[in-house]
Chain A
């Protein structure tokens, strides 16, 4: 009497609906702030400062930074959604509702990740629409663009999940975004081409996973990238698979959830 595929799908759908309902219910906290932040980036960096910078990578500075900023919004929101939702469930102990149920661990992870991806993509769309007020945007390669967005949102949703598993207090869910995610994002080639960096720092930058996402996405939108797009996609898939395997191991062991 284990769960049939249909029952597993019902459980998955339940988690996703609950997650989407959660971030839609608090849209003032989840959807509006990234829109405002990105408009400020577009105005200050793209419009005011960008006019003095001129071209980068063969494009207007504004056009150059738009893909990176969209990606930044996707990354931050996918991560934030899962880390805050899963930790909130742990904090209120409502995660026990799921843990006592027969829902398999991979469905639990898939449900939370799908919720994170949904918010990441929705915010990405909002930011993309806002960017149209500041720059012309045509998609060079739709397949790569969509694939990169979905995979990146999934990767950072899984990363948010891991953060939430280990978090024991609310401070713990802001430490990683503040001290790891934000620096990596800013140093991930959103605002500049890595060609501008000295050779040594170019090599160091290659260790930053966000560089691959920003560049793969920029390739999809503009058709230019500092990194070979297939290498970038390979790296994103590699990170996603590794973190997913680790998350499932944490769930199986009950780390941070079962005593």
Chain B
């Protein structure tokens, strides 16, 4: 299978001396839905900046669908659409003009750019806003506008830097649906996100970048399988006066009606309920305490810091 993206020994040291990337290697297969995770300042945005030529790399090689960004930059850029983290369109321009103009920058005939702009503005629910100036849009609409703009030249690789930051849940879900659809239609997608639930829900592969290095590069499934324990929060009907003791489950009182239980993945919750019943506690609901990927992510990054 062809690689949508191949990064080899990518390095970036800023003029201030800050080393943002210290030799990362990464490949993303065509058609993949890939998550690039990492704490703030880890090097995610620098990596994206290099890919779309807004950041000059210090060393290394980047190929987009086999086109080297140094020697065949026009071809490489034709294949790439980028949705940046910060709004970077003219706030005084109209929504339609922003998308059509971007099409023109990629060499599209005006009529084709207009047609594509309509297609993507409709799909992203912005068609009714096409005549409005971009500054009048809400935050979520501005993000969708940037997605429409990035797609107008129909790139094969779409990179989204924190696409759902500051977007409400409903809108986030509709954006996920849209991204899943275009991925199923063959578009390769790479996204960075702070919402690890987003990566878990959308992506098949994940790389974690920290301090300018790739510390994990695997499938989401394989990463989650590394989890040895899980924590649940149980809500009880009765007041919890004493915390039940158990040799295997680790139980902790959260408040008068909630207990936290940490258990190995090899254990079953079924074994816990009789213990609680004996103490006169009936469970009315339960939920995962934290996002599982988030837990792993923190473990990995903290482990790296300890080393």
Does B88 lie within 8 Å of A4, measured CB to CB?
A: no
A250 to nearest B CB, angstroms?
A: 14
- Which residue, of A1, A98, A99, A100, has the highest number of chain B Cβ atoms within 10 A? A100
Is A30 an interface residue, CB under 8 A from the partner?
no
Least CB separation from B65: chain A residue: A1
Task: Tell which of A10-18, A41-49, A151-159, A211-219 binds the partner.
Answer: A10-18
Does B74 lie within 8 Å of A100, measured CB to CB?
A: no
Task: Tell which of B35-43, B76-84, B230-238 binds the partner.
Answer: B76-84
Is B107 an interface residue, CB under 8 A from the partner?
yes
**A17 surroundings in chain B (CB, below 8 A):** 104
Does A7 lie within 8 Å of B107, measured CB to CB?
A: yes
**B53 surroundings in chain A (CB, below 8 A):** 99-100, 258
Is B178 an interface residue, CB under 8 A from the partner?
no
Is B239 an interface residue, CB under 8 A from the partner?
no
Least CB separation from B81: chain A residue: A100
Is B73 an interface residue, CB under 8 A from the partner?
yes
Is A84 an interface residue, CB under 8 A from the partner?
no
Count, chain A residues at interface, CB 8 A? 31
**B54 surroundings in chain A (CB, below 8 A):** 96, 99-100, 258-259
Bound complex: CA of A89 vs CA of B105, how far in Å? 15
User: Chain A 70-102 against B: per-residue CB contact (8 Å), 1 yes, 0 no?
Assistant: 000000000000000000110011101111111
Give the A-B contact count at a CB cut-off of 8 A. Answer: 95
Bound complex: CA of A231 vs CA of B177, how far in Å? 66
Asked if A101 meets B90 with Cβ closer than 8 Å, knowing A2-B75, A258-B56, the reply is: no
**A13 surroundings in chain B (CB, below 8 A):** 104, 110
Bound complex: CA of A18 vs CA of B14, how far in Å? 33
Does A254 lie within 8 Å of B75, measured CB to CB?
A: no
Bound complex: CA of A92 vs CA of B93, how far in Å? 12
B198 to nearest A CB, angstroms?
A: 24
Does B90 lie within 8 Å of A92, measured CB to CB?
A: yes
Bound complex: CA of A254 vs CA of B54, how far in Å? 8
**A2 surroundings in chain B (CB, below 8 A):** 72, 74-75
Least CB separation from B104: chain A residue: A14
Bound complex: CA of A13 vs CA of B105, how far in Å? 9
Is A129 an interface residue, CB under 8 A from the partner?
no
B30 to nearest A CB, angstroms?
A: 16
Query: Could you tell me which residues of chain A, from 149 to 178, have a CB within 8 Å of some CB in chain B?
Result: none
B293 to nearest A CB, angstroms?
A: 30
Is A209 an interface residue, CB under 8 A from the partner?
no
Task: Indicate which residue in A6, A101, A259 contacts B77 across the interface (CB closer than 8 Å).
Answer: A101
Least CB separation from A88: chain B residue: B90
Bound complex: CA of A89 vs CA of B90, how far in Å? 7
User: Chain B 99-143 against A: per-residue CB contact (8 Å), 1 yes, 0 no?
Assistant: 001101111111000000000000000000000000000000000
Is A145 an interface residue, CB under 8 A from the partner?
no
A118 to nearest B CB, angstroms?
A: 17
Does B88 lie within 8 Å of A6, measured CB to CB?
A: no
Does B84 lie within 8 Å of A258, measured CB to CB?
A: no
**A7 surroundings in chain B (CB, below 8 A):** 106-108
Is A103 an interface residue, CB under 8 A from the partner?
yes
**A258 surroundings in chain B (CB, below 8 A):** 53-56
Does A97 lie within 8 Å of B105, measured CB to CB?
A: yes
**A102 surroundings in chain B (CB, below 8 A):** 73-75, 77-78, 105-107
Is B244 an interface residue, CB under 8 A from the partner?
no
**14 CB < 8 A contacts A-B:** A1-B78, A2-B72, A3-B74, A7-B106, A7-B108, A11-B107, A13-B104, A94-B90, A96-B54, A96-B88, A97-B101, A99-B52, A101-B77, A101-B106
Return the 5 tightest CB-CB contacts between A and B, nearest first: A7-B107, A14-B104, A101-B105, A93-B88, A2-B74
